[in-house]
Amino acid sequence: MSTQEFFSFFPQSAARWEDVPVLPLSSLADGLAQLVQQGGRILAFFPLPDGRQELELLAVVGDPDSGALRAARTRVSRTYPSLVSRIPQLHLFEREIAERYGVVPEGHPWLKPVRFPKSSQGPWGPLAPGTGPFFQLEGSQVHEVAVGPVHAGVIEPGHFRFQCLGEVVQHLEIVLGYQHRGVEESFCQQPAKRRLAAVETVAGDSTVAHTLAYCEALEALAGLQVSPRAAALRAVALELERLANHVGDLGALAGDVAFLPTASFCGRLRGEILNLTAELCGNRFGRGLLQPGGFRYDLGAETETTIRQRLADLEPELAASIELMLEAPSVLGRFEGTGRLSAEAARELGTVGVAARASGLPVDSRAQFPSGMYRFLHVPMATASSGDVFARAWVRWLEVQHSLKLVEELLGSLPAGELQGTIGPLQPSSLAVGLAEGFRGEVCHVAVTNERGELAAYKIVDPSFHNWSALAYVMRGQDISDFPLCNKSFNLSYCGFDL
> Which residues are CB-contacts of 170 (< 8 A; sequence separation ≥ 6)?
137, 142, 163, 164, 476, 477
Is the CB of residue 96 less than 8 Å from the CB of residue 114? yes
Angle between helix axes 228-256 and 260-281 (nearest 10 degrees) is 160
DSSP string, 20-83: S-B--HHHHHHHHHHHHHTT-EEEEEEEEE-SSSSEEEEEEEEETTTTEEEEEEEEE-SEEE--
Edge-to-edge strand ranges of the sheet holding 142-147:
142-147, 159-165, 168-175
Q: Would you give per-residue pLDDT tens digits along the chain (499 residues)? A: 567 789 999 988 999 999 999 999 999 999 999 999 999 999 999 998 665 667 899 999 999 999 999 999 999 988 999 999 999 999 999 999 999 888 999 999 999 889 888 777 777 777 788 887 899 898 889 999 999 898 877 788 999 999 999 999 999 999 999 999 999 988 999 998 899 999 999 999 999 999 999 999 999 999 999 999 999 999 999 999 999 999 999 999 999 999 999 999 999 999 999 999 999 999 999 999 999 999 999 999 999 999 999 999 999 999 999 999 999 999 999 999 999 999 999 999 999 999 999 999 999 999 999 999 999 999 999 999 999 999 999 999 999 999 999 999 999 999 999 999 999 999 999 999 999 999 999 999 999 999 999 999 999 999 999 999 999 999 999 999 999 999 999 999 999 999 9
Q: How many CA atoms lie within 13 A of 186 on its CB side?
A: 15
Is the CB of residue 444 less than 8 Å from the CB of residue 43? yes
> Which residues are CB-contacts of 94 (< 8 A; sequence separation ≥ 6)?
45, 82, 83, 84, 105, 108, 111
Task: Report the C-alpha gap between 368 and 435 in whole angstroms.
Answer: 10
Task: Report the C-alpha gap between 6 and 22 in whole angstroms.
Answer: 9
Strands 104-106 and 79-81 come out as parallel
Edge-to-edge strand ranges of the sheet holding 455-461:
15-16, 430-437, 442-449, 455-461
Q: Which domains does the chain have, with CATH numbers?
A: 3-106 (3.30.460.80), 183-465 (1.10.645.10)
Predicted local distance difference test score (pLDDT) of residue 2: 61
Nearest-CA neighbor of 359 among 334, 382, 332, 330?
382
The torsion angles phi and psi of 132, rounded to 5 degrees, stand at 95, 180
Nearest-CA neighbor of 321 among 272, 258, 265, 244?
265
Cα 165 from chain centre: 33
**By three-state DSSP, how is residue 448 classified?**
strand
**By three-state DSSP, how is residue 144 classified?**
strand
Is the CB of residue 200 less than 8 Å from the CB of residue 207? yes
Q: Is 333 exposed, middle or buried (0-12, 13-18, 19+ CB in 10 A)?
A: exposed
Q: Is 4 exposed, middle or buried (0-12, 13-18, 19+ CB in 10 A)?
A: exposed
Is the CB of residue 427 less than 8 Å from the CB of residue 453? yes
E strand or H helix at 435: strand 430-437
Nearest-CA neighbor of 184 among 205, 199, 204?
199
Predicted local distance difference test score (pLDDT) of residue 11: 87
Predicted local distance difference test score (pLDDT) of residue 221: 97
Predicted local distance difference test score (pLDDT) of residue 122: 76
Task: Report the C-alpha gap between 209 and 239 in whole angstroms.
Answer: 10
